[in-house]
Amino acid sequence: MLVHPQFDPIAIHLGPLAVRWYGLMYLFGLLLAGMLLSRRILRAAHPVLQRKELADVLFYAAIGMIVGGRLGYMLFYDWTGFMASPLQLFAVWQGGMSFHGGLAGVLLALWGWARYRHRSFLQLMDFVAPVAPLGLAAGRIGNFINGELWGRVTTVPWGMVFPSAGPLPRHPSQLYEFFLEGVVLFCLLWWYSGKKRPVGAVSGSSPLSWQIKDIGLSVEGPAVASTDSIAPAATTSTTEPPTPAEREGSK
Domain boundaries, the chain: 2-54+122-249
Task: Give the whole-angstrom CA distance, residue 11 versus residue 56.
Answer: 28
pLDDT class of 103 with cuts at 50, 70, 90: confident
- The DSSP H or E segment spanning 73 is helix 51-77
Task: Give the whole-angstrom CA distance, residue 248 versus residue 232.
Answer: 11
Query: Does the structure show a pLDDT above 90 at 81?
Result: no
Q: Helix, strand or coil for residue 52?
A: helix
Query: Does the structure show a pLDDT above 60 at 233?
Result: no
Q: What is the pLDDT of residue 119?
A: 92
Task: Give the whole-angstrom CA distance, residue 250 versus residue 92.
Answer: 27
Which tens digit of pLDDT belongs to each residue from 179-189? 988 899 999 99
Q: What is the pLDDT of residue 227?
A: 36
- Bin 152: left if φ > 0, else alpha if -120 < ψ < 50, else beta: beta
Better-predicted residue by pLDDT, 240 or 170: 170
Q: What is the pLDDT of residue 249?
A: 43
The partner residues of 13 in beta bridges, in order of sequence, read: 18
Q: What is the pLDDT of residue 38?
A: 93
Query: Does the structure show a pLDDT above 90 at 58?
Result: yes
Sorted by sequence, the CB contacts under 8 Å of residue 244 that are 6+ apart come out as 148, 149, 150, 227, 230, 231, 232
Distances in Å between the Cα of 33 and the Cα atoms of 11, 41, 54, 176 are 22, 12, 11, 21
What amino acid is encoded at 181 in this protein? E
Q: Where are the beta strands (DSSP E) in the chain?
A: 2-3, 10-14, 17-20, 160-161, 169-170
Task: Give the whole-angstrom CA distance, residue 75 versus residue 9.
Answer: 23
Which tens digit of pLDDT belongs to each residue from 154-174? 999 999 999 888 899 999 999
